[in-house]
Amino acid sequence: MGEDRVTRRWNAETWPIAAAMIPFPGRLPDGRLVQDAGPEVWARDLTDVADAGFDAVDPTDSWLRVADLDPAQRADFIAICGDLGLSVPAISTSRRSVIDPQHGAEYLAYGHRVLDVAAEMGVGHVSFGFFGPLTPEQMARLWFWTTEGVKNPSDPDTYRLAIARTRELGDHAERLGIRISLEMYEDTYIGTARDAVRFMQDLDHPALRLNMDIGNLIRLHRPVEPWAEMIELCAPYAGYWHVKNYYRMEDPSSGQILTHPAPLLGGTINYRAAIRRVLELGFDSPFLVEHYGGDGLGVCARNRDYIRGILAGRTVLND
């Protein structure tokens, strides 16, 4: 199921580039959760992924929580992926922060289950984040990032708790031979490049890396660090990487900022330059391609091909 990280040599054709499942809703029109809908529904969505030319998928937990499937259900999921030729190089979690004021301990326990299931499935990478649930106002917007959401507390005790619980997950991951990547997201402890570097330095853990999802930041309707500066600061810590792009329009005279989802090739971030830079610094993790709006899966497929073009002629020994 997962990518064998021992003496595996990746090139442009074999580098794992996984489809995110965010184009697929976690709830069906009849009100059922995909979690409870069973193999027929999972197979339908995963067949779309395979038909789009993907050979890898990340079962993003906003779609399906593989760690909360029972063993028989998980066996069904693994069999479906195998039949469709889909590997699972990584598992991403979303909005299950270990410092959530109500559910932090519950989400910490969930994080440990994700790591155990990842190891069981041979998955080498897991993504966690500190971002909270969408607010009612965000859910009412066309694009949820156009209004502010939940912010991480500024008090030192919660920051220390974030460090302690993340290290706990890191220790678990290290024992299992798994790498954790922490997803950059606005108004969290890794919500700017400088904050992310500080947090990684405070963590100082060999199993913990950064998920440099700077698309989460470029899309904000507020001033942000230049994308190239973000890459330069964060690339030395780069791990499993969610990549997506946005058009960003700024009017200095009025202060108005507008953003819209874009393909990797066409948005504000120059991913050719960004990917080449992290490769120079030894990047050796899978990619996840994401896109909101429109035919998200179709855009992700084109983004995958664009990345393979950038990787042409490059090889990494992943160990």
Q: Residue 5's pLDDT band (boundaries 50, 70, 90)?
A: very low
User: What average pLDDT does the segment 206-216 reach?
Assistant: 98
Whole-number Cα distances in Å, 237 to 160, 182, 226, 276: 20, 10, 18, 15
92-117, pLDDT tens digit by residue? Answer: 999 999 999 999 999 999 999 999 99
Average of per-residue pLDDT values in the chain: 95
The CA distance from 114 to 107, in Å, is 10
Q: The pTM is what? A: 0.95
- Pairs from 98-107 (Cβ < 8 Å, separation ≥ 24): 98/128, 98/130, 98/161, 98/162, 98/165, 98/166, 98/169, 99/130, 99/152, 99/153, 99/158, 99/161, 99/162, 99/165, 100/132, 104/161, 104/165
Residue ranges and CATH numbers for the domains of the chain are 8-318 (3.20.20.150)
